[in-house]
Chains A and B, each alone.
Chain A
Amino acid sequence: GAVVSQHPSWVICKSGTSVKIECRSLDFQATTMFWYRQFPKQSLMLMATSNEGSKATYEQGVEKDKFLINHASLTLSTLTVTSAHPEDSSFYICSAQQGGSTNEKLFFGSGTQLSVL
């Protein structure tokens, strides 16, 4: 099956620093990638949808200047948490979809646990 690689798996940073998370589709081209965040024992919350070569579409309440998303190629999307604060600590997950069909299944990265001190 298709593989989505997400790095790093975990990161600890100081408040005020920026953190970049990478999401790569290893054996397929992902026309669309999604970024989620998840708090303990809660469901995945969609943050943004990104299509290769265009600006990401952010969900209501998600600050686009704080969570920078770049989908520069069909195999790579990055999420940068800028000027991270403790409240940004969360589990971040990316997913990729190969085609444009509404019923294409999703392939997920393994997630990144971000802890901001």
Chain B
Amino acid sequence: LAKTTQPISMDSYEGQEVNITCSHNNIATNDYITWYQQFPSQGPRFIIQGYKTKVTNEVASLFIPADRKSSTLSLPRVSLSDTAVYYCLVGDRDRDDKIIFGKGTRLHILP
């Protein structure tokens, strides 16, 4: 089973900042947190990865509190093209060496 919990869906408006939070209470010491984005009929693509505190790239920011039991993906000034499903993965493999996706968050950006 996936080790993460995310909201099933979110709506926002163009130009707004969107924050998607992921819970991962059982995160292991060596686990990184990775977020992927998937558009319809496409494979997911990597957005950002982090271990602690804050990571920022040209697409998003990732905030991770000290206890690392959750993380927040922040998308600045979203546009319609950011409408997609966002998946949070912790570590890349569970103890059985599998990579399991949770249900993800379906983000819908409105004009």
Tell me whether A95 is interfacial, beta carbon within 8 Å: yes
Interface size bracket, A side: 20 to 34
Inside 8 A of B92's CB, which chain A residues have their CB? 97, 101-106
Inside 8 A of B99's CB, which chain A residues have their CB? 34, 46, 49, 95, 106
A17 to B66, CA, bound (A): 54
Work out how many contacts link A and B, with CB atoms closer than 8 A: 67
Inside 8 A of A105's CB, which chain B residues have their CB? 34, 46, 49, 92
Hey, what's the 0/1 contact readout for B72-109 against A, CB within 8 Å counting as 1?
Answer: 00000000000000010001110001111111101000
Inside 8 A of A28's CB, which chain B residues have their CB? none
The reply to whether B98 and A113 contact each other, CB–CB distance below 8 Å, is no
How far in angstroms is the closest Cβ of chain B from A112? 10
A71 to B68, CA, bound (A): 36
Some 21 contacts from A to B, beta carbons below 8 A apart, are: A1-B46, A34-B99, A43-B87, A43-B102, A46-B99, A49-B98, A95-B99, A103-B30, A103-B32, A105-B34, A105-B46, A106-B46, A106-B99, A107-B46, A108-B36, A108-B43, A109-B43, A110-B43, A111-B41, A111-B42, A111-B43
